[in-house]
């Protein structure tokens, strides 16, 4: 894990899910996936938006030309743990396509306009993932 993410994760857990800096005031969760290659748990801070019971996350990778590692991890094992505020729960990933994907991406852009920039930086179609809480 890089230092940037490690500091955000530490701040998130120390402050009941609140962080400052570039994510201050934004809905942020900690997404823990099983490494597709390593099999180890990997935690990544990601912004989300709510869609009913689902937590929607965008595999933008800040507009890079490749998908983030957590996306590949969810493709290999579509189960994750989410930390939202002080809550921690299991979730099942599904991959949103078509018009629904476009609608959710547009909602994320409304919430955080930098996602429009990410889309302009890359030629890949940025994936949208729905994380549905599961009974534990």
pLDDT score, position 134 = 96
Q: How confident is the model at residue 135 (pLDDT cuts 50, 70, 90)?
A: confident
Is the predicted pLDDT of residue 14 greater than 90, yes or no? yes
- Confidence bin at 1 (pLDDT 50/70/90): low
- pLDDT, residue 11, reads 96
The span from the CA of 43 to the CA of 23, in Å, is 17
What's the per-residue H, E or C state across the chain? CCHHHHHHHHHHHHCCCCCCHHHCCCCEEEEEEECCCCCCEEEEEEECEEECCEEEEECCHHHCCCCCHHHHHHHHCCEEEEEECCEEEEEEEEEECHHHHHHHHHHHHHHCCHHHHHHHHCCCCCCEEEEEECCC
Per-residue pLDDT band at 39 (split at 50, 70, 90): very high
**pTM assigned to the model:** 0.94
For the chain, what is the mean pLDDT?
95
Express as a percent the part of the chain with pLDDT over 70. 99
Q: Give the pLDDT band (50/70/90) at residue 2.
A: confident
Residues 55/108, Cβ–Cβ less than 8 Å: no
């Amino acid at each position: 894990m890089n230092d940037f993410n490690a500091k955000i994760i530490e701040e998130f857990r120390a402050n009941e899910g609140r962080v400052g800096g570039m994510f201050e005031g934004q809905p942020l969760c900690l997404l823990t996936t099983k490494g597709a290659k390593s099999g180890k748990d990997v935690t990544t801070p990601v912004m989300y938006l709510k869609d009913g019971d689902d937590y929607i996350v965008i595999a933008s990778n800040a507009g890079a030309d490749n998908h983030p590692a957590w996306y590949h991890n969810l493709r290999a094992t579509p189960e994750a743990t989410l930390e939202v505020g002080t809550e921690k729960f299991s979730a099942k990933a599904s991959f949103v396509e078509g018009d629904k994907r476009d609608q959710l991406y547009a909602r994320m852009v409304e919430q955080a306009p930098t996602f429009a920039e990410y889309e302009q930086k890359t030629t890949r179609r940025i994936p949208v993932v729905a994380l549905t809480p599961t009974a534990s």
